[in-house]
């Protein structure tokens, strides 16, 4: 584990706060028209190597075009292409510009490159750690708090400066132009609507037009009912 950290610190440390909490704007790492698969691999494998609790979390790679933010929000159907002598792979992006990053030995050995399907487009890559969604749309508040704590544990493992932060809540991020809603169901059966606002999916993102629902901790015991599938559930640290 120790041998991995020095390699990836330059890429991962500037990104974790922006990925999972309200921090100051972060610089784009490795910005350009292409990126090294090997560098991205070294950043993403950190989560795989982390030995702490992470069963409630997802790790994905976000592509950001420098002019507009998340690649999927710049009005074009962009894809991330993994290209090498022995490797050719199309990585689809979700509405937040994220993709499941493939850990491939062959692509690592030949140091394949990552490019966008729009030729010459400058972009940056960011690891994103989020709360795993549930198919039924029902989230126990206790589970959301535990997921936030798992994410914070990972952030602290990578970056000691995160030790001063605490879990503040979670942010449900929804597709644009969609009627969304969520309620907090209390143990006594009563329900409290949760406010919907517009904002960025992750702190530091340029695109702040996503519908978001924020649940702050400490929330009372109960269950969040999300009526639409969120694009992401982002843990918040303060």
Token representation of residue 191:
């329900």
Q: What is the pLDDT of residue 26?
A: 31
Alpha-carbon gap, residue 37 to 176, rounded angstroms: 31
Alpha-carbon gap, residue 21 to 161, rounded angstroms: 13
Q: What is the pLDDT of residue 84?
A: 93
Q: Which residues does the chain have with pLDDT short of 50?
A: 1-30, 74-75
Could you give the maximum distance between any two Cα atoms of the chain, in Å?
Answer: 61
Q: What is the pLDDT of residue 114?
A: 96
Q: What is the pLDDT of residue 68?
A: 55
Q: What is the pLDDT of residue 22?
A: 32
Q: How many CB atoms lie within 10 A of CB 145?
A: 18
Alpha-carbon gap, residue 81 to 61, rounded angstroms: 13
Strand runs labelled E in 37-173: 57-65, 69-70, 79-83, 88-92, 98-99, 113-116, 123-131, 138-140, 167-173
Q: What is the pLDDT of residue 105?
A: 93
pTM metric for this prediction: 0.83
Domain boundaries, the chain: 5-130, 134-237
Q: How many CB atoms lie within 10 A of CB 155?
A: 24
Contact 15, 29 (CB under 8 A): yes
Q: What is the pLDDT of residue 221?
A: 85
Q: What is the pLDDT of residue 104?
A: 93
Contact 174, 180 (CB under 8 A): yes
Q: What is the pLDDT of residue 71?
A: 57
């Amino acid at each position: 584990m120790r041998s991995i950290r020095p390699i990836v610190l330059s890429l991962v440390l500037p990104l974790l706060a922006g990925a999972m909490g309200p921090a100051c704007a972060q610089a784009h790492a490795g910005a350009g028209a292409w990126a090294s698969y090997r560098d991205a691999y070294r950043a993403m494998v950190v989560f795989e190597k982390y030995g702490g609790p992470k069963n409630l979390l997802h790790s994905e790679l976000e592509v950001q075009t420098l002019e507009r933010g998340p690649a999927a929000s710049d009005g074009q159907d962009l894809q991330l292409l993994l290209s090498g002598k022995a490797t050719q792979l199309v990585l689809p992006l979700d509405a937040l510009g994220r993709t499941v990053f493939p850990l491939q030995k062959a692509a690592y050995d030949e140091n394949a490159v990552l490019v966008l399907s729009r030729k010459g487009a400058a972009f940056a890559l960011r690891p994103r750690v989020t709360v795993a969604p549930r198919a039924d749309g029902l989230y126990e508040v206790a589970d959301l708090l535990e997921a936030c704590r798992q994410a914070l544990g990972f952030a602290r493992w990578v970056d000691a400066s995160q030790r001063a932060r605490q879990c503040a809540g979670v942010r449900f991020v929804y597709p644009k132009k969609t009627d969304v809603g969520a309620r907090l169901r209390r143990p006594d059966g009563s329900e409290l609507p949760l406010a919907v606002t517009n904002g960025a999916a992750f702190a530091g993102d340029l695109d702040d037009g996503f519908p978001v629902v924020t649940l702050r901790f400490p929330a009372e015991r109960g269950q969040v009912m999300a009526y639409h599938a969120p694009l992401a559930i982002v843990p918040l640290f303060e």
